[in-house]
Structure 1
Amino acid sequence: MARGELMKKLLASYGRDEEFRAVAEQIITEEEQKNNKVLARSLRKTLDNSARSATPKALAPLIPFPDAANDFIERIEPEHTKNDIVLTNTNLRIFAGLIREFRRAEDIRRHGLPVRSKLLFCGPPGCGKTLCAEVFSRELGLPLFIVKLDRLISSYLGETATNIRKIFEFARKQPCVLFFDEFDALARSRDDVNEHSELRRVVNSILIFIDRIRPKGFLVAATNLDHSLDPAIWRRFDEIIWFGKPDRLMVEKYLRVKFKNVEVAFDPVAQAVLLEGFSYAEIERVCLSAIKTAVLERRRQVREADFRLAVRDEIRRRSGSARLSPML
């Protein structure tokens, strides 16, 4: 391919990592064929270094907050990275696919295919749904906005559907991850006899809005009460992702993450057996409590006794009982 055409193709692929790298590889190969080996090596080294050091960046500037949506949306700066979360192999595969689709969206649409952009996270509390939304937005390089449901629903019931429309309109214009936590508060089953008729109309509005929206980023809804959702909600989402409590191997991996920069006098991974049935939020509390005990006692190392005491406290907290396992 002529050099000019290659350079045009390179510039056109900017922002789509895989295409950009493929064209860059073509240019490097061409230089190698011309026996410009020093230049080819230099280009390849630069390309490899940029791939390793690349950090996610916002793909579009933030539009000014419209007054209409400002009361109901809050921007959150992601603090966690993919190294702070442990996911099942299935969920890792799904998220990798979603990120790849997003980056190759134009190619997919050119073939007349839809890009998945509406996600439903389901699972018990403390199992990583909110954290995953944060890490997902960081990996995509998109800003994260949290919907403030208390403000949304506490307004006059007759205005709730109008307020939801404002939020969806914002997501249509702004490339972002728009996160609805406790989504069941908005999309509760219309068959529930205890629900107010106005809330049924809100569900009808939600169904219409989700159907029609083609977000520039992602719409993510999360619920701990998947059984409470209206049956018609499920098919409106492009992907449903299930979060559960971690198994032994996932607990061990999580403990390695939490204690990787902490000096310890015991093997945290060996304590995984004590955390069977715990959620990630509970395990994190145990780890932080054990570390704080060492800090408060002015010790450099966290001891096994600190960890086991933290486990005892977590069991007491979750069960309201003083009776503890003899293992502790």
Structure 2
Amino acid sequence: MAYQNTTLRNKTKVLTLDELHLSKEIREKINQLIEEFTYLDTLKNLNLPVDNKILLHGKTGCGKTATVHAIGKALNKEVITLNLGGFVSSRLGETGKNISELFRKASYSNAILFIDEFDFIGKIRDYDNKDSGEMKRLVNTLIQQIDNLADTSLLICATNHIEIIDTALLRRFQLKLEYKLPSNQQLDLYYDDILTHFPKEINAVNRVYSISYAEAKDLAYQQLKANVIQLEKAKTD
């Protein structure tokens, strides 16, 4: 099956929630999520349900995946990552069975199941009507697995295209957090955070706006590397 286990030991760099540049609204809701899982037993004793089905949606490169791993780090939970786009089999019946096995694994280990490209189901449904019956069964399988998810487990799904996801699936998520492109002020803080780790003689970069954090990081590093190389060349002139 095409999925991976991401633990704190083998993840190259897992940022903390404090290190992420999240909007105030998203950070407050995630803080509430962390606290609910921290006091899970107390809430269960009072028959209060914990929000454990989360959908992250919005612009690519704005921190959805990093958020999932930061939550895993905060809760000390294993993250089981499933990229739905690379997982759906040409034999859709097998896909439903494999997804059910992943949900069982996540529940058994009290892990975070992270499903990326969650909109892929909607994309496949649009591609070929001849598989519509199998797609309906796959959607029903997902709905059943989501409904039966253990309280101690956490399901987080991510999509860039929430508009094409089946509404019956959308209703299952207690939290839907939208990731938007950062404002100029937010990007300035992000650029400052990147550049503070480098010497002043190389950290002059052209700041570009109306882009994602991922794009800003790539642009900043490209310019930083160019500045370093320029300085090295100057030494040999």
* TM-score category of the 2 structures, normalised to the smaller one: 0.7 to 0.9
State the partner residue of 1:132: 67
Higher mean C-alpha deviation, range 189-198 or range 164-173? 189-198
| Alpha-carbon shift at residue 298 of structure 1 (Å) | 4.4
Q: How does 1:148-297 map to 2 (within 5 A)?
A: 148-149=83-84, 152-154=87-89, 156-186=91-121, 188=122, 192=126, 194-195=128-129, 196-197=131-132, 198-265=134-201, 274-297=207-230
Q: For the Cα contact (< 8 Å) 1:119–1:240, is it kept in 2?
A: yes
The superposition leaves residues 114-144 of structure 1 with CA deviations (integer Å, 9 ceiling, x where unpaired) of 0111110000211111111111111211122
* Aligned equivalents of 2:231, 2:80: Cα separation in 1: 40
Q: Distance in 2 between matches of 1:140 and 1:260?
A: 29
Q: Give the corresponding residue for 1:115.
A: 50
User: Residue 228 of structure 1 aligns to which amino acid in structure 2?
Assistant: I
Identity %: 27
Cα RMSD, aligned residues only:
2.4
Deviations for 1:195-251, whole angstroms, at most 9, x for unmatched residues?
422122211111111111125331110000101100111110121111010012211
Q: Secondary structure at the match of 1:232?
A: helix
Q: Which moved more, 1:211-220 or 1:99-108?
A: 211-220
Taking the aligned partners of 1:233 and 1:239, their CA distance within structure 2 comes to: 13
Q: Which whole-Å CA distance do the structure 2 matches of 1:215 and 1:294 have between them?
A: 51
Contact (CA 8 Å) 2:118, 2:158: kept in 1 or not? yes
Q: Is the 8 A contact 1:189 1:230 kept in 2?
A: no
Counterpart CA distance in 1 for 2:195 and 2:202 is 11
Aligned length: 226
Gap runs ≥5 in structure 1? 1-70, 300-328
The secondary structure found in structure 1 opposite 2:87 is helix
Q: Give the secondary-structure state (helix, strand or coil) at the position aligned to 1:262.
A: coil
Of 68, 71, 79 in structure 2, the residue corresponding to residue 144 of structure 1 is 79
Larger relative contact order (CA 8 Å, sep ≥ 6): 2
For 1:100 and 1:114, the matched residues in 2 are separated by 13
Would you tell me which structure has more strand in proportion to its own residues? 2
The reply to whether residue 81 of structure 1 matches residue 11 of structure 2 is no
Computing the radius of gyration over CA atoms, which structure comes out larger, 1 or 2? 1
Any stretches of 5+ residues in structure 2 without a counterpart? Answer: 233-237
Scaled by the length of structure 2, what TM-score is found? 0.86
- Structure 1 residue identity aligned to 2:143: L
Distance 1:267 1:204 in 2: 52
In structure 2, distance between residues paired with 1:285 and 1:152: 28
For 2:25, what is the secondary structure of its paired residue? helix
Residues 239-297 of structure 1: per-residue CA shift (max 9 Å, x gap) = 1111010012211111122112111248769x6xx532101111011111112113333
